[in-house]
Homo-oligomer: A and B are copies of this chain.
Amino acid sequence: MGVVPADQQHAQVSQGPRAGAVATRRRGDALLGAIFDAVFDQLRTVGYANLTMDRVAAAAGTSKTVLYRRWAAKEDMIADALRHRLPTPGDIPLTGDLRADVHALLRCVQASFSSTRGTAFQLVSAEAGCGRPVVRQTIIDHVVEPCVQLIAEVLRRAAERGEIRPEAANELVAASGPAMLVQYSLIREPVVPDEFVASVVDQIVLPLTTRSAAAEHG
């Protein structure tokens, strides 16, 4: 309840010109980064439904005015936070090594959880069924779809090289890895551990591609 001390300090003390004085006012990217931190922090602690501009401002150690000077609406702010924090799968260099490439692309999906503090798929479904699923579509288009497509491409090339059975080079198999990570983030805990990613690669994705795996059961 009570009174919040008005002279509450920000978490980060930047190296200002006067080293003795506490940095009380951030600008530009420093401020922007603090706001994005606050957004994901709020998503993690109170959830999308209870995320308010007041709370984000308070968590960032700033005020609502600053937020509305940058974004017209709450959704714009969140979408912008995502665009700045989500990894870009297209930047991942592919080596041609099947296991390494699949692993790298799945780590990209994993990074989309950790970079948003595990709130990525909370956001995906929070808006499901709404009129303008801005945030939802941002994540799907930015990370999940590209990763699945890139994994599919990696599988296709491996099939051309004869490393895997050709029938396994499809989007269903390509989607299995991301699906396992999404599942883990939703059911177990928000941020997916490294060992789990490795397990998925070695016990799910790669076994599905081996020559001897039965091609059809139905």
Contact = CB atoms under 8 A, between A and B. Distances in A.
What is the interface of chain A mostly: helix, strand, loop, or mixed? Answer: helix
B130 A46 contact: yes
A206 interface: yes
A94 interface: no
Number of copies of chain A assembled together: 2
A186 interface: yes
Contacts of A183: 175, 178-179, 182-183
Nearest to A179: B183
A175 B180 contact: yes
A172 B144 contact: no
A202 interface: yes
Interface stretch (A30-38, A57-65, A150-158, A209-217): A209-217
Contacts of A186: 121, 124-125, 128, 182
B43 A129 contact: yes
A72 interface: no
Given A202-B218, A217-B99, A218-B202, A176 B180 contact: yes
A200 interface: yes
A203 interface: yes
A218 B49 CA distance: 41
Contacts of A201: 217-218
Interface size class of A (residues with CB under 8 A): 35 or more
A146 interface: no
Given A183-B178, A204-B173, A128 B214 contact: no
Of listed A121, A203, A204, residue having the most chain B CB within 10 A: A203
A95 interface: no
A48 to B, nearest CB: 7
Contact of A217 (B127, B128, B172, B202): B202
Interface string A112-149: 00000011011011111110000000001000110000
9 contacts: A46-B129, A47-B128, A49-B49, A125-B186, A128-B190, A182-B182, A201-B217, A212-B212, A213-B214
Given A179-B182, A212-B213, 7 more contacts: A49-B49, A122-B128, A172-B180, A175-B180, A176-B179, A183-B183, A204-B208
